[in-house]
Structure 1
Amino acid sequence: MNMKKIILALSAATVFATVADAQVQLTITGSTAFRSIVLDRIPTLFDTNSMSANISDPNKNQYYFSGTISNLIPTLGNQPITIRTSFSGSGSGMTAVKNGTLQPCINLDGSITNLAADLAFSDVYPASASPSIAASAFAQRVEVGVVGFVFAKNNALIGITNITREQAVLLMAASGDGGMPASYLGGIGLGAANPVYLIGRDSGSGTRISVEKDINFIGSPNLWATNGDGTYSLIAGLTSGGTVAKNIAGGTQAIGYVGLADFATITSVATALSYNGIPYSHSAVASGMYPIWGYEHLVSKIGMSANQQTLRDKLVGSITNAAYQSSAIYSNSFVRLSDMQVRRGADGGTISSLVF
C-alpha cells in the first residue's frame, strides 16, 4: 500500500470514529409498572419534527426513538440521539444494569439488537433484588415517583370487596385445584364454592417483590394462568403488569395484583379490593394508611459517558417536574413525591411520618 492510500485509509477511519463518537445512545430497562411514564416523557426530549420512532410492540416493552435534542441540550447540537427501551421488570432490570447483561432492543426497521442497559427503573430498592444488589453497584440511584399497587378481582366474583393481609398470604400459598374457595374471601352466590386463582408476576418483578414484602409473604407463591382451553394451571409468573391485567380481565375466577396504570386498563371488568379495610387512594398512600406501595427508583450503570449522564438527568427532570407530576397522565396512576407525608427506608419496611 502506497503512502497516499495509507493516508486516505487513516482519514476514513478517523471520520468513522468521529461519527461513532458523536452518536449518543441510551438503553433503558426495568419496571413495567412505570413504563407508561417513561414512554410518555422520552418523546418530549427531542427537537420538534426531528424524531423517528418504532412503537409497534403491542406489549409496550421494546420501543425505539431517535432524533436530535439541541433545544434541550444545546451542546449536543445535531448529534444523533437514540433511546431504546426494553422493559423486563425491576429486579431483572437492575441486575442487567449491574452485570452488563444484553437486552433485546428493537431498531427503527423492526430488527433486534442486543445491547447492554444503561439505566433501569425499579419499583424496589436494589437490596430487594434477588440476589440482593449493593447500592455501590450503581453510579447513581434517584427516586422519581411513588407507585401504588392493588389486588384486583374479576367482576364475576360477587361479594368480594376486601382482602386482609392474612387472606392475601393464604391466597399466595394455596395450591391444588385453585387458590381458595371464593367464600373465604367473602364471595357469595352460586360461585362461592368455586376456587379463586391468584394471577401475578415473575420473580424479577418489582410489583411482585413490593406486594410480597408489604404483606410479609415469605416463600414461593402459587400463581396461575389459563391455557388454550381456559383451564387454570400453575406457572412461575407473568412477564408484565399488562399481561397480569389481561389475565384478570379474562378470568372469571381471577384475583391478581397490579400497579395502578395497568389496573386502569381493566376497570370496566375488574374492581380494586380494599386492603385491611382501606380502599386504595393516593391520599391513603401519602398519609401512610395504605401500605402497598413503593418508590420508583432510577439506577445508572457505572461508566456512562458525560453525554449519557446529561441525557439521563434531563429525563429525570422531565419526570420529577412538579407541573408534570400534577398532570393527569402522572397523577391518575402515581403519587407525587411532594405529597408524601410518610417515608420508608426499605421495601415492606416501617412507615414513618415526615410531618412529626
Structure 2
Amino acid sequence: MKKSLVLLLTLVLAFTLAACGKSNNSESSGSPSDPASESTDNGAGSDLSGTILAAGSTALQPLVDQVSKKFMDKNSGVTVTVQGGGSGGGLTQVQAGQADIGNSDIFAEEKFKDADADKAKELVDHQVAVVSIAAVANPKANVDGLTKQQLVDIFTGKITNWKDVGGADQAIVLVNRPASSGTRKTFEKYALGETSQDLPGSIQEDSSGTVRKLVAETPGAIGYLALSYLDDSVKALKYDGVEATADNVAAGTYPVWAYEHMYTKGEPNAAVKALIDFVLSDEIQNSDVTELGYIPIGKMQVTRDVTGAVTKK
C-alpha cells in the first residue's frame, strides 16, 4: 500500500514538473499572444502608443498626412497630428520641444545660423524624400518656360509684363511665399540664385494649396509649387529648357530641388522612430512617395549638401 502511494506521488510530481517546463519554454520562445514578441513590420506594432505632432513644411505635408493615416491604421495606440506653418515654423517648434517632428524643405543649419548655430546641432536629420519645385503660371500667360535670368528679372520687378518674355500682353502678378517658407528658400537658392523681394502689389501666401488656387484664378499670376501640388489648373514652366520631372531631378539635370526632412530633437522615441521608419520603408517609398509627386531617396543619382553643392553618387 505504501509502495503504491509513493509511486503515485512520484508520477504526479513528474507530470507537474514537465508541464511547468513546457510552459516556461513557450514563454521564452515568444508566443503570438505576447505583445513583446510581436514583430514590427514597417512601423506596425501593437505595443506602440502615444501622440505625435508633426509640424512645418506644407510641401511635405501631403506625404506625412497620407502616410500617418496608414501608420495609425497599423498602430491603433498612436495618434498623429500633422500641421503646416512652413519649414521655419516646424524647425522652431521641434527645437523648442513644441512638436515631435519638424517637417522641413531646408537643412536646420539654414534656419539656425550664427548665434543660433548650436540649436541646429541639437536636431537629428531624417531625410525621407526629395521635393522638386517648379515656377507655375496662369495658363493664359501663354508661356512654356523661362530662363534663370528671366525668373530673376520677374521676381525682382524688372520684368512686369508677360509679353516681355514671349507671352501674352498681360501684367505679371507675383504670388510669393513668406520668409519662413522652405519652399521659398529652395526656389530662391536653386532657381534664382538670390533672395527675392516682397514687391508692392505682390501677393504673399503661406499655403501651397492657396498659392495654386491664386495662380489658377488670377490673370497674369506667377508663383512656384512643389511637384506634389501640380495639376491642370496651373502651367508648370520649364527652367532653362528643362522640365521639372522626377527623372530629370534624379539625374541632376533639373536643379530646383531639395531634401524633405523630418527633424527630431535628439534621437526619436519609439513611436516617432517607427513613423519615420515607415515613411522610409519600401512600401511607402515605392507607392505614396511617387504617387504624390516626390522622388524616393533611393532613386537619386546625385546628393546635395547644406551649401548646395551637388555630387554624383
TM (normalized to structure 2)?
0.77
Per the alignment, in what secondary structure is the counterpart of residue 335 of structure 1? coil
Equivalent residue runs for 1:58-137 within 5 Å: 69=75, 80-100=77-97, 116-129=98-111, 134=117, 135-137=120-122
How much does 1:152 deviate?
0.9
Unaligned runs of 5+ in 2: 1-47
CA distance in 2, matches of 1:204, 1:196: 24
The alpha-carbon distance between structure 1 residues 337 and 317, as it changes in their structure 2 partners (threshold 3 A), is same
The aligned residue for residue 149 of structure 2 is 166
How much does 1:343 deviate?
0.9
More helix by share: 2
CA distance in 2, matches of 1:329, 1:287: 17
Determine which structure has greater relative contact order: mean sequence separation of CA pairs < 8 Å that are 6+ residues apart, divided by chain length.
2
Decide whether the 8 Å contact of 2:137 with 2:234 is kept in 1.
Answer: yes
The alpha-carbon distance between structure 1 residues 300 and 199, as it changes in their structure 2 partners (threshold 3 A), is same
Per the alignment, in what secondary structure is the counterpart of residue 145 of structure 1? strand
More strand by share: 1
CA distance in 2, matches of 1:259, 1:319: 19
- Using the aligned pairs only, state the percent identity: 28
The aligned residue for residue 153 of structure 1 is 137
Decide whether the 8 Å contact of 2:144 with 2:238 is kept in 1.
Answer: yes
CA distance in 2, matches of 1:328, 1:25: 23
Unaligned runs of 5+ in 1: 1-21, 49-68, 71-79, 101-115, 225-232
Equivalent residue runs for 1:171-182 within 5 Å: 171-174=154-157, 180-182=160-162
How much does 1:127 deviate?
1.8
AA of the residue aligned to 1:202: P
The aligned residue for residue 53 of structure 1 is none
Decide whether the 8 Å contact of 1:151 with 1:255 is kept in 2.
Answer: yes
CA distance in 1, matches of 2:157, 2:149: 12
Equivalent residue runs for 1:284-295 within 5 Å: 284-295=248-259
Decide whether the 8 Å contact of 2:303 with 2:312 is kept in 1.
Answer: yes
The aligned residue for residue 245 of structure 1 is 212
CA distance in 2, matches of 1:130, 1:164: 31
The aligned residue for residue 213 of structure 1 is 189
CA distance in 2, matches of 1:130, 1:185: 37
AA of the residue aligned to 1:152: V
How much does 1:218 deviate?
2.9
* The 10-residue stretch of structure 1 (330-339 or 116-125) with the greater mean CA deviation from structure 2: 330-339
CA distance in 2, matches of 1:238, 1:130: 23
Per the alignment, in what secondary structure is the counterpart of residue 156 of structure 1? helix
The aligned residue for residue 300 of structure 2 is 340
The aligned residue for residue 352 of structure 1 is 311
Decide whether the 8 Å contact of 1:199 with 1:223 is kept in 2.
Answer: no
CA distance in 2, matches of 1:23, 1:312: 10
Equivalent residue runs for 1:311-322 within 5 Å: 311-322=271-282
Runs (4 or more) in structure 1 with deviation over 4 Å come to 130-133
Decide whether the 8 Å contact of 2:55 with 2:99 is kept in 1.
Answer: yes
AA of the residue aligned to 1:129: K
The aligned residue for residue 263 of structure 1 is 230
How much does 1:317 deviate?
1.8
How many residue pairs match? The answer is 263
CA distance in 1, matches of 2:164, 2:269: 52
How much does 1:238 deviate?
0.8
AA of the residue aligned to 1:288: G
Decide whether the 8 Å contact of 2:88 with 2:180 is kept in 1.
Answer: yes
TM (normalized to structure 1)?
0.68
How much does 1:248 deviate?
0.6
C-alpha RMSD of the superposition: 2.3
CA distance in 2, matches of 1:81, 1:210: 33
Per the alignment, in what secondary structure is the counterpart of residue 26 of structure 1? strand
The alpha-carbon distance between structure 1 residues 335 and 238, as it changes in their structure 2 partners (threshold 3 A), is same
